[in-house]
Amino acid sequence: MWSFLLLTTAAEARAFEMSGGVRMGYSYMPNSTLRSPNSMTLGFEQIHRLDSGGRLNFLVITNLSVSGMNQGSLLPTGHVMMGYQLYDSWYVSAGPFLRVYAVEPTLDAQVNMILGSGVLLPMEGFDIPIQFGYVPDLDDKWIFTMSTGIHYPF
């Protein structure tokens, strides 16, 4: 009986995977406070994957990034997306997105939704993510992002 419990626990422990790493990319942000709508983005992302053992996995993706460094500005953003991954590579997700426009003299921030899609290219010991994101906005401050980087399991 104990061996069955130990085997079940070990199998369940392997079903949850976590990876993370640095992301670099491009953001297009029309109607922003930047001098140009074209912006470089640098951030850190974690992917939490619940492996179903089949073709479809459940994902939770968290990201903290800073945009505008190529223009001498720092615009922090963060998001949490939940979605699905097909065949351990292509995924689609959505979730809340927070961006901060200014901290002083008063905090100016906005919460939206982000729609993301991408692929994780498996390498030996790490993954190469390629991701696209779209943040719709009623005030015409939408954002389009593309990013890539490296993900290590931990």
| Higher per-residue pLDDT: 148 or 107 | 148
Provide the percentage of residues in the chain whose pLDDT is more than 70.
91
| Higher per-residue pLDDT: 12 or 24 | 24
Architecture of domain 16-153: Beta Barrel (2.40)
Structural domain boundaries of the chain?
A: 16-153
Strand 38-50 relative to strand 56-67: parallel, antiparallel, unpaired? Answer: antiparallel
What is the tens place of the pLDDT at every residue in 107-133?
888 899 999 999 999 899 899 999 999
Instruction: Name the pLDDT band for 2 (thresholds 50, 70, 90).
Output: very low
pLDDT of residue 41: 95
**Rg of the chain, C-alpha, whole Å:** 18
Pairwise CA distance, residues 71 & 41, whole Å: 11
Cβ neighbours of residue 11 under 8 Å, at least 6 residues apart? none
| Higher per-residue pLDDT: 17 or 93 | 93
Comparing CA positions, the residue from 131, 109, 111, 137 lying closest to residue 45 is 131
| Higher per-residue pLDDT: 137 or 1 | 137
Global confidence as pTM:
0.83
Instruction: Name the pLDDT band for 6 (thresholds 50, 70, 90).
Output: very low
Alpha helices in 15-135 (DSSP H): none
What is the tens place of the pLDDT at every residue in 29-78?
998 888 999 999 999 999 999 988 889 999 999 999 999 999 988 899 99
State the average pLDDT for the chain.
88
